C-alpha cells in the first residue's frame, strides 16, 4: 500500500508528542496529554479521509501507517 508522506509525518509527530510524556512531571504531563491527544486526533481524521478517498479499509491503513512510521523500511 502506498501511503502519502504527510500521513507518515503526522503519525511520527503524534508518536513524538506521546514520548514526551515520559519525561514530564504531573503538571506538565496534563498539558502534554492534550497536545498528544490533539496530534493523535489529527492523524485519525487524516487516515479516515485518505482511506475513504482511496477506497481502503481505515483499520488496514492505520496498521500500515503505524508500521511504516515506527519501523521505516531501509531503502
Q: How far apart are alpha carbons 54 and 28 in whole angstroms?
A: 39
> pLDDT, tens digit, for every residue of 3-45?
999 999 999 999 999 999 888 888 899 999 999 999 999 999 9
Q: Which set of grid coordinates corresponds to residue 18?
A: 506521546
The phi and psi torsions of 68 (rounded to 5 degrees) equal -70, -40
Band the pLDDT of 60: cuts 50, 70, 90: very high
What digits encode the pLDDT tens for the residues 41-59?
999 999 999 999 999 999 9
Mean pLDDT calculated for residue range 53-69: 97
Amino acid at each position: 500500500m502506498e501511503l502519502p508522506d504527510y500521513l507518515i509525518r503526522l503519525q511520527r509527530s503524534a508518536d513524538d508528542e506521546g514520548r514526551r510524556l515520559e519525561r514530564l512531571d504531573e503538571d506538565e504531563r496534563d498539558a502534554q496529554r492534550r497536545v498528544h491527544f490533539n496530534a493523535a486526533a489529527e492523524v485519525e481524521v487524516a487516515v479516515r479521509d485518505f482511506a475513504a478517498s482511496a477506497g481502503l479499509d481505515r483499520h488496514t491503513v492505520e496498521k500500515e501507517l503505524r508500521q511504516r512510521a515506527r519501523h521505516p523500511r531501509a531503502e
